[in-house]
Structure 1
Amino acid sequence: MNIHAKAIRYFDAICRSGSIREAARRLHVDGSALNRQLLNLEDEIGAALFERLPSGLRLTQAGQIFAQHVITVLQDEQRTLAELEQLQGVERGEIRVAAAESLNADFLPAVLEDMLRRYPKVRLHTFMQGSESIAQQVSSGEVDVGVAFAMRDSPDLTCVGGGIFRLCAIMAPDHPLAAREEVSFADCAAFPLVMTNPDFAVHSLLLLLLQNAAKPVQPVVYAGAIELMRQLAMRGAGIGFQTRIGLKTLCAERRLAYVPLRESDNVAAHLGIYVRSARILPPAVTALIAIMNEQLASLLKEETGAA
């Protein structure tokens, strides 16, 4: 069922792809027909929606205003269709989730498994991003739900669940610091460090400790993925930093050790579940958020027990 005019869907596709040719490819329509739809839409609105640049298309100020309207229209359509299906006893839906990569090991698989068990007809799409990218995707309507650490406050985002987790130093089980109950950042800095790139929330959380270090700290690797940082820590290449989330199995198998940072009270990580502000959520998205909060409560209980 397509409730809204083709022009709105075509405009949305052009926004997402940045070019008429790529949008036409994704929509499986002729490029000239797509261009005519855009020209007709601009004529109807009475303003250019895109600047035509050599590098592609860029939204004009009018285009940015119209794009926000289109996001609302399309998301409200998803909610309406889901509610109509619920009236017929059908629990369907399609949900797009952007999440921090570190949630891949435990949190996200547990959430998705539970969601699919309870609502097998719901389709799920997941995307792994840094916190800044997740915030942008949720506020722009590209995804329905974002789950990230240390997200900045924004009027475009509403937090619908969250919790505080201590940062830990992660290392090989035979590392000299692995047997301690807690360590300071200075203790860790005496050894090679493996840190994430700036796009990851943990990097920004550690900046204060880096700036206040007695001696300049130069990590041996800036990793572009949490899994790479973990692998290097397991192999004894250096000490990494993250929360306890996702480490339970690795530590139980004696493949990795984690030790809480003494400074964690000052650099604790807030894990939040976010949606676009003022959006009326479809039933499937509401159900997913409820399951996420159930899983989050379980992780917080473990965190409190380990503190």
Structure 2
Amino acid sequence: MHVKAFDYLRVLAETGSLRGAAQKIGITPTALTRQLEHLEYFFRTPLFEREQHGVRLTAAGEVVMESAGRVSRELAISHRRVEDLKGLRRGTVRIRASGSTLTSVIAPALDALHRDYPGLRFVIEMSGAPQIASALLSGEADLGLTLFAPDLSELTLCARLPVVHSAIMSPTHPLRNNTNISLHDLRDQSLSLPDAGYFVRQAFDRVIRPGEPDFDPVFMSGSFDLQIDLAMRGCAVLLLPEFTCRPLIDRGLLCAVPLPARLRVPTALDLLRASHRPLSHAARVTSARIGEIMARLT
């Protein structure tokens, strides 16, 4: 039985057609059927059945297909580890990160890594903190970089940057010269915040004392890029860690005003990996480089 047969079963489930699956894979229907028969022989049970308008997986086929993704990921991890043993400077590193870290941390780290290790390949996906943790535990990602990381014993902390939120705004904003900004000041401005489903919004909502009015943002979005654009246009004030906007602040396109102590939500930027899965050489090098960038932001 060839390990590719697991992928073939997955494609068959997606297309619902032997012919369609064969075309997508790039083999003949006969060759596909033969591989699937080998898989059925291995499990000693039918994994799919023909119907009038195609094929569908049996209950056993569904179980095998669920395992197929995990098998593929574990094989990829094993392949990277074998490459390490062979001393090759190549491999793929999969990173899950929050959008606010891309410009200030991920981009400079990848720039340096690509110059030093041109054979490496990187896959970067944006996710929220819970999704990042899930991807690390399932093997879909090697490294995760996020604020408000969940407290999971299955994750190992590779690097940490304590952060403080500031009011981020246009350099022409009327509050730009304030030494700090009060809650009253913020309520008089056009705020842009994520909705209550985001940890950062929940953290800010918790600082509101009984009897005080809640935050009433004009703009609600989880898109970091949109929030930055609104601030640069002068139509919104953001509540973000200063490091997330550092390149734009250095270029004079945004400015940061400190928040009072009672509005400083405690959090940190955490670089994480799954505790039960050793990193490949490529992922270790990447982790070290990201950690160096984080250290410079302190």
Which TM-score bucket, shorter chain as reference? 0.7 to 0.9
Aligned mates of 1:25, 1:137 — CA distance in 2 = 30
Q: Residue 19 of structure 1 is aligned with which of 14, 20, 34?
A: 14
1:246 maps to which residue? 244
Measure how far apart 1:128 and its partner are.
2.0
Residue type at the aligned position of 2:76: L
Equivalent residue number for residue 220 of structure 1: 218
Distance 1:183 1:23 in 2: 60
Q: Residue 281 of structure 2 corresponds to which residue in structure 1?
A: 283
C-alpha distance after superposition, 1:108-150 (max 9, x if no partner): 1110011111111111121222223222222222222111111
Check 1:259–1:218 CA distance in 2 against 1; reply closer, same or farther (3 A cut).
same
Q: 1:150 aligns with which of 148, 151, 155?
A: 148
Say whether 1:96 aligns with 2:98: no
When residues 173 and 69 of structure 1 are mapped into structure 2, their CA distance, relative to the original with a 3 A threshold, is same
TM-superposed deviation, 1:184: 3.4
What 5-or-longer segments of structure 1 have no aligned partner? 51-55, 301-307
Is 1:118 matched with 2:116? yes
Once the two structures are superposed, residues 189-240 of structure 1 have per-residue CA deviations (whole angstroms, 9 ceiling, x without a partner) of 2222111245644323323135757113321111231111111122222211
* Residue identity opposite 2:231 in structure 1: A
Question: Is 2:106 the counterpart of 1:108?
Answer: yes
The match for 1:81 is 83
Range moving further from structure 2, 25-34 or 175-184? 25-34
Deviations 1:164-206 (A, max 9, x none): 1001111122323221222233431222211124564432332
Q: Write the distance in 2 (CA, Å) between the matches of 1:110 and 1:218.
A: 35
Structure 2: how far apart are the matches of 1:31 and 1:197? 49
Give the TM-score normalised by structure 2. 0.80
SS of corresponding position for 2:297 = helix
Question: Which residue does the alignment assign to 2:138?
Answer: 140
| Amino acid across the alignment from 1:164 | P
Q: Which has the larger radius of gyration?
A: 2
CA contact (8 A) 1:92 1:122 kept: yes
- How big is the shift at 1:64? 5.1
Matches of 1:115 and 1:213, distance apart in 2: 51
**1:28–1:296 CA distance, 2 compared to 1 (3 A):** farther
Compared CA separation, residues 133 and 252, structure 1 to 2 (3 A)? same
Give the % identical residues: 26
Gaps of 5+ in 2: 49-55
Aligned length: 288
Give the TM-score of the pair, scaled to structure 1: 0.78
Query: One-letter code of the match for 2:243?
Result: I
Deviation at 1:73, TM superposition (A): 3.6
Matched AA of 1:180: N
